[in-house]
Structure 1
Amino acid sequence: MEDKKEGNHDISKPHRDNHCQLMLAISGKFKLNIDFEIIEFTEPALLCIFPEEVHHIIEVKDPKGWMISFDPSLVNKEVLQLLENKINNPFLPQQESAFFKQLVMVMDLIEKVQLENPNIYSQKTIHSLLNALLSLIAGEIISHLPLEKEKENRGIIIKENFIKLTKEHYKTWKQPAQYASALSISTSHLNDTVKSVTGSPVSVHIQEASIMEAKRLLYFTDNTVREIAYEVGYDEPVYFGKLFKKVTNLTPLEFRKKFRDQDYPSLH
């Protein structure tokens, strides 16, 4: 975990990946930016970064632990969705807990299998251990969630499936009816359910999914506002600019300048 280079890019600079990253820190002090939120923590800590999230390390001191990068297609989809919906970054386990000791054991075993005496079954072993690790984490998260009434639980499932769809279809699905159809429920039921669980109507979440991707592109690329508007599904840059300001209280170019100057002054 000491090296700030990962693969072919410098992780101290804003970037995003098409894979997941899981970090277990057993010592050290950390400060990161993940999707425009500053996250600071000390050990022990568990951190998940999901595909397309713009992130970079701002500061790290005396780090020790493990970082695993993996393709989402290699792991159980239900477990991965639960982690994406429920984990709070960073997840802070108790150092003396059985859960933390089990995390260390599995991480250490994955490292040993990867480094010591590799054979034709090593990758399959690592994939199995990775799924076991993620299931272990999911089980710990679930154990800390409050027990929900059946009706409330159904609403949360609908909300989480809807949010997942917005991340996949924000560019082309702009109407609530499209999401309701995909979930096999009425538009009014979807809107009532999502609003009761989150406090915001379906249309707001659809807009926020597009605006989040626009934020990432403004921050991470030098694309023009017109190009970014098109990338997130808006053919009219003026409308996009008004919507962006409504959601963020900043114009797209004000957002770009503010966050680049704030988090990485030498980015441009």
Structure 2
Amino acid sequence: MKDIPIHQLQARAVTGLEISYFAPGEVDTDEVQALGIHRDDHYIFFLLDEGNASLMVDFRDMYFTAPALYYILPGQVHKRIEAEKAGGWFIAIDPMLVAQDYRTVFDDQLPFQQPYMVSPQQLAQCSGTLRLLTERYENEDGSPFYLPVVHSLLQSFLGMAASCYCLHTGPREQPSRPVQITQQFKRLLAANIRTVKSPSAYAAMLNISETYLNEALRKTSGLPVSYWIMQEVMLEAKRLLYYGDMNVKEIAHLLGYPDPTYFSKLFKKTAGTTPLAFRESYRK
């Protein structure tokens, strides 16, 4: 049985970020069709500054007209944006670079996240930040602070985007029970990942059965509890590698893996690179 493919950002961008600007007519319709239905292991943001575009996200057709902001969560099923008559920004971001407070804002919109119509002032601020981010990102000059500066500019954009959705007061449908469970599970996961990795333990925290938790997550994301637990483990490992100074053995023990060799193999299998290679690539 053919499963829905999951596209990994690591295969295209070793620094956890991919950003580009597309003008009207630059999005190839044949390429959109060839890419097909898929999931991503990362966030995708669009900032449309002219024209209109459409997306199919989790079997819902989304239409948005500039000026608008929209995003896709990791794991959501979608096609590539159809934007033959639109211009704007495309940003793909590793979840480890999205602060937890921002993740909570974006994830809590599931599954009804709508395009946010930005004001002229918000558009100018976001576009200005993205232009500066792109300039720094595309012109690595050997500076030891290249990536920290790039990631700091990215945080500025994410903060603006999260602020927009915090201010959003449009009509919202009442989330279904599976959506509520997914939101609660992801909050618990982020808070307890260093010590709790058992699907049954999270089900107990939510006062539901492990089977029901799995069913809820499959309905909202198409993926089981075990997938999201492993993603959160790797996310925490990446953050410790990037932001901290602990060695791999210390990180493995902190995350509950007494065998650092096993942890390293697990990291490589999931992230596509070794822990030390990941740290080196993110600290250019």
Quick one: which of 34, 39, 64 aligns to 1:16? 39
Answer yes or no: is 1:56 the counterpart of 2:64. Answer: no
Which residue of structure 2 aligns with residue 28 of structure 1? 51
Deviations 1:96-155 (A, max 9, x none): 2x2222111111111111234633322221111111111122223223459xxxxxxxxx
**SS of equivalent residue, structure 2 residue 117:** coil
Answer yes or no: is 1:76 the counterpart of 2:99. Answer: yes
Which residue of structure 1 aligns with residue 148 of structure 2? 124
Q: Sort the Cα spacing of 1:63 and 1:9 in 2 relative to 1 into closer, same or farther, 3 A.
A: closer
Which residue of structure 1 aligns with residue 219 of structure 2? 211
Q: Which 4+ stretches in 1 moved above 6 angstroms?
A: 8-11, 201-205
Q: Sort the Cα spacing of 1:27 and 1:9 in 2 relative to 1 into closer, same or farther, 3 A.
A: closer
Deviations 1:145-183 (A, max 9, x none): 59xxxxxxxxxx99833355589x9xx74x6xx436447
Quick one: which of 90, 98, 101 aligns to 2:124? 101
Answer yes or no: is 1:162 the counterpart of 2:170. Answer: no
TM-score (norm 2): 0.53
Quick one: which of 109, 130, 134 aligns to 2:158? 134
Which residue of structure 2 aligns with residue 91 of structure 1? 115
Q: Sort the Cα spacing of 1:163 and 1:202 in 2 relative to 1 into closer, same or farther, 3 A.
A: farther
Answer yes or no: is 1:143 the counterpart of 2:143. Answer: no
- Which whole-Å CA distance do the structure 1 matches of 2:109 and 2:117 have between them? 15
Answer yes or no: is 1:38 the counterpart of 2:61. Answer: yes
Deviations 1:3-49 (A, max 9, x none): 459xx997751112212111111012212111111111111111111
- Which whole-Å CA distance do the structure 1 matches of 2:61 and 2:182 have between them? 26
- Which whole-Å CA distance do the structure 1 matches of 2:221 and 2:163 have between them? 30
Q: Sort the Cα spacing of 1:13 and 1:81 in 2 relative to 1 into closer, same or farther, 3 A.
A: same
- Which whole-Å CA distance do the structure 2 matches of 1:141 and 1:107 have between them? 18
Q: Sort the Cα spacing of 1:91 and 1:11 in 2 relative to 1 into closer, same or farther, 3 A.
A: farther
Asked if 2 retains the 8 angstrom alpha-carbon contact of 1:18 and 1:51, the reply is yes
| Amino acid aligned to 2:88 | G
Asked if 2 retains the 8 angstrom alpha-carbon contact of 1:17 and 1:52, the reply is yes
Asked if 2 retains the 8 angstrom alpha-carbon contact of 1:4 and 1:12, the reply is no
Structure 1, unaligned runs of 5 or more: 147-156, 192-200, 217-227, 233-268
**SS of equivalent residue, structure 1 residue 38:** strand
**SS of equivalent residue, structure 1 residue 128:** helix
Highest Rg: 1 or 2? 1
**Larger RCO, structure (CA 8 Å, separation 6 or more):** 2
Q: Sort the Cα spacing of 1:10 and 1:85 in 2 relative to 1 into closer, same or farther, 3 A.
A: same
Structure 2, unaligned runs of 5 or more: 1-21, 171-179, 229-284
TM-score (norm 1): 0.55
Identical amino acids, percent of aligned pairs: 23
**How do 1:242-253 residues align onto structure 2 when only pairs under 5 Å count?**
none
Structure 1 residue 207, shift from structure 2 partner: 2.3
- Which whole-Å CA distance do the structure 1 matches of 2:182 and 2:27 have between them? 39
- Which whole-Å CA distance do the structure 2 matches of 1:83 and 1:103 have between them? 17
Matched pairs, number: 187
Asked if 1 retains the 8 angstrom alpha-carbon contact of 2:45 and 2:92, the reply is yes
| Amino acid aligned to 1:85 | D
- Which whole-Å CA distance do the structure 2 matches of 1:107 and 1:11 have between them? 28
| Amino acid aligned to 2:49 | I
- Which whole-Å CA distance do the structure 1 matches of 2:156 and 2:82 have between them? 31
